[in-house]
Amino acid sequence: MRIGIYSGSFDPVHTGHAMVANYCAQWAGLDEVWMMVSRLNPLKEGSLPAPDLHRLRMAKLVAEQCRGVKASDFELSLPLPSYTYVTLCKLRDQYPEHQFVLVVGSDNWANLGRWRDAHKIIKEFGLLIYPRPGYELPHDPPQGVEVLDEGPTAHVSSTFIREAVAEGANINFFVPTVVAHYIKEHKLYTNQPEEI
């Protein structure tokens, strides 16, 4: 199978993430999309994510509502720091029957030069670039890079969601309903003690 790896901290997973996963699973020439919950992005130092278990559970809630989408804890078992190329290589070793391709937003494409082994990711696995508001898509992408310029977008971020929850704001429609309930139930992103 050709599997899209959509990696992120998903802290929390929001409507934009859900749209990308659902669209790619249906219209990007993939058999499945795996939402790969990462432990810590090396480029986001100083930003402590919610506990792994919560972020994985929220990703699973979204994946369960999208045909062809799965939430994966594969990267959570890998040692830190967590580099995408290493994750993809380990996936290829463990699942040699599958072909993996990395799904990234156009914001990540703009910063790809800062990624470790970015050229190897493109050469050995390939990229699917999804549009994100405010970030230009490549007009003449190199070999191994495919642009999904038709995908619907939502201008929302996990940072916005966390800040909104901390302020006691209503986050309906910014995150899937099941995720909003989960955040409330487990008191995530508030000053209250978290519940596992």
Q: What is the pLDDT of residues 88-99, one digit of tens each?
A: 999 999 999 999
Query: What mean pLDDT comes out for the span 45-61?
Result: 82
Contact 161, 3 (CB under 8 A): no
Confidence label for 47 from pLDDT (cuts 50, 70 and 90): very low
Question: How large is the average pLDDT for residues 153-175?
Answer: 94
* 131, amino acid identity: P
Instruction: Please give the average per-residue pLDDT across 172-196, as a whole number.
Output: 86
pLDDT range class, residue 193, cuts 50, 70, 90: low
- What type of residue is 80? L
Report whether pLDDT(80) > 90: no
Confidence at residue 49, expressed as pLDDT on a 0 to 100 scale: 60
Q: Give 3-state DSSP helix, strand, coil % of the chain, rounded to 5.
A: 35, 20, 45
User: Which among 138, 137, 97, 103 is positioned nearest to 22, based on CA atoms?
Assistant: 103
CB 109 within 8 A of CB 129: yes
Higher-confidence position of 91 and 80: 91
Residue 79: asked if its preceding bond is cis (omega within 30°), the reply is no
